[in-house]
Amino acid sequence: MNLLDLPTEVVVMITKALDKASDIDAFVRTCRTAYIRLNNVLYKFDVQRRGGKALAWAAQKNNQQTTKNSLKAGIKSLNKWFQWPLTIVLRSGYTDMVRLLLDEGVDPDAILYEGSRIATTALYIAASYGHDAIVELLIGKGANVNLENFPRQPLVIAVTNNRKAVVRLLLEKGANPNARRHDNMTALCIAVMKGFTEIIKMLLNKGALTELGGPWTGTPLQAAVRKNHFKITEILLEKGADVELGDSRDPTPLLMAVKLGYERLLGLLLKHGANPNAQNSFLLHVAIFDNKIAMVRLLLAHGADVNRKNSEGQTPLLYAMLQRKDEIVDFLLLYDVDPDAECHYGLRPLWEAYRQNRGDWAKILWRKYKKRESSRS
């Protein structure tokens, strides 16, 4: 009797006695009749004995028919192996394969694992790789764009990887523009640090808060100044960013601009109302220390107090003298400086001019001293 003349049940029993998928595969391929009768046996063997490797292969090759055969054979009962092919097709951007898996009942919000321990979601993976068509498909199937208390937010990874189309789509679908990364840094602050101007505009237009930042970057405005992003600083200021916001750890944007020597940014911040006499900033002294006469000019032109004392009681003039910043001293003498302002150590500008044997300075300061004295009497 011909083998294939046997009842199907008997042929299947023979096939099940084979130990290797390759043997079953060879048997299935002998003729069309064998294929029709035994192909499902081959896939069930793969599911039960090999952990569903056929589905993983199909995912890598974007083979929908093999995927359908594996699903029909019961691969969904093997949760771990069912998830792995999904991560493959998500990374590869195989939209039709993702649709097929979703239609077969995959939860679009299921927690997936890339590697052994990193928990993520389908939406996060698709957003990370910039597959906007898959992102739209997942959202259409019910994927949540704002998973509460989950460290890997789709919007954050899309911003991080500069996936503009995905960022736009997620925001249109209701993603929180103030979403934070696992280290508590906001999406806006990430975009600022990376210089992604277009994404910054998208986030701001959807309500991203300019006062929220990150644990080591400060506010978005502070981050923009630190990175010397002039255009981004301008955008943030036009959207109402607080030009004075700073604390003991993170200096104000104005002080940061002076310390880093960013003259254009200093001018921009002053133009938008930054206070050159903010408490404990001593901006003139900082500019003098680094011999930045252009910044001294800018600060004075915008109302910096030429006689404001630092923590040691030194006026900008006395400080410039002690630092031997002669050009800045010459410039400050053009202003209404106090020649007799005493610091905590008993030093005064007029005395310091004599001590340094600078008769030209002493002469100017003496005149200023006499003028002040006469105005008091």
Would you state the pLDDT for residue 119?
77
Which pLDDT tens digit goes with each residue over 18-29? Answer: 556 555 555 555
Q: Let me know if domain 275-377 sits in CATH 1.25.40.20.
A: yes
Cα distances (angstroms) measured from residue 219 to each of 63, 192, 249: 48, 10, 12
- Residues sharing a CB contact under 8 Å with residue 101, sequence separation 6 or more, in sequence order: 67, 85, 86, 89
Would you state the pLDDT for residue 58?
60
Mean pLDDT value of segment 249-270: 92
Which pLDDT tens digit goes with each residue over 58-90? Answer: 666 766 666 666 666 555 544 454 566 778 788
Mean pLDDT value of segment 31-48: 52
Which pLDDT tens digit goes with each residue over 112-137? Answer: 776 556 778 899 999 999 999 999 99
Instruction: Encode 122-150: b = buried (16+ Cβ within 10 Å), e = exposed.
Output: bbbbbbbbbbbebbbbbbebebbbebeeb
Please state the domain extents for the chain: 275-377
Which pLDDT tens digit goes with each residue over 179-235? Answer: 999 888 999 999 999 999 999 999 999 999 999 888 778 899 999 999 999 999 999
pTM over 0.85: no
